Amino acid sequence: MIDGGRQNQIAVDTAQNTTINSFAGYDTFTVTPQDTARTAVYAYINYGGTVTISWEEMRETANSDVRIFDLLAHKRRNAISSMKDRVNSDLYVAAPAVNDINSLPFLITTTGTVGGIDSAANAWWQSQQNATVGAFPANGLTQMRDLWNDIVRQGQGDPDFTVTTQAVHQLYEAEIDPDVRYDNPDNLGRGAKTLTWKGKPIFFEADMTAGELYTINRKWITLAVDTDGTFTVDEMVKPANQKVFTATLAFRGQLYVTNRRALGRCTGITA
């Protein structure tokens, strides 16, 4: 959670400190200045909406003894749910609109300017990527394995989970060897309640772009949400010339990464 502010400025590592070395006795240390940090800048974004109800509608549903449902409460729930659906959908779009939240495809790739840092001029700011995977039965597991190992090879920790589409998730489930024994039958095997890859959960997201799969380490990606922008619904207000009441609701935050090379994706996955 964040408490206000216009943007988030985060120090990111660009390289290792090359002065590190073994020594013995009276050996001297290297004191060459190290330029190993850059600042990534992420502006917070806002989503807004309204809940409106007329005085007539309120009177029609005022009697709790006879009304079928609480119309105002329904409108509030619907507005909050609609906003959550919009934000969630935007988290997976290929190219976010100017005022929209950053998305996984925008943040986790090998191109583009993210946080004010150009990937083309800074290879250390490029994610791991296996593009045009092709048919999953033939290439899927191999490409997933390569991606996982490429991420681990960066020395920034193991991934925590993998997220993909329902179609790819089902292709993965179909590839699981039913003859292999697993410690927890709920987590792997035919009809499993929870699938895992490399011992970490793999799940699907309805809004994910077709044919894509993301392997993520939570340490390097954050969804920051303002304490006063958590889909908060304000008090109802009434204009002077109408018997109508309106409340605004808002979300404020941003999805950002601090280590792109420790995150990765596969694209172009087909059946």
CA distances from 260 to 1, 58, 159, 192 (A): 21, 51, 12, 32
Measure the CA–CA gap between 18 and 188, rounded to whole angstroms.
Answer: 44
pLDDT at 193: 67
pLDDT tens by residue, 156-206: 999 999 999 999 999 999 998 654 445 455 555 555 668 999 999 999 999
- 150 alpha-carbon distance from chain centroid: 20
pLDDT at 185: 56
pLDDT at 194: 80
pLDDT tens by residue, 99-113: 999 999 999 999 999
pLDDT at 14: 93
pLDDT at 179: 47
pTM of the full structure: 0.89
Measure the CA–CA gap between 270 and 263, rounded to whole angstroms.
Answer: 22
Measure the CA–CA gap between 99 and 112, rounded to whole angstroms.
Answer: 17
Measure the CA–CA gap between 9 and 188, rounded to whole angstroms.
Answer: 41
Among residues 166, 158, 163, which one has the least CA distance to residue 198? Answer: 158
DSSP class of residue 46 equals E
Q: Which two structure tokens, joined as six digits, stand for 155?
A: 């020395």
pLDDT at 61: 84
- 131 alpha-carbon distance from chain centroid: 20
pLDDT along the chain (271 residues), means of 10: 90 93 96 94 98 92 76 94 98 95 98 97 97 96 97 95 97 76 53 82 95 98 96 94 96 97 98 96
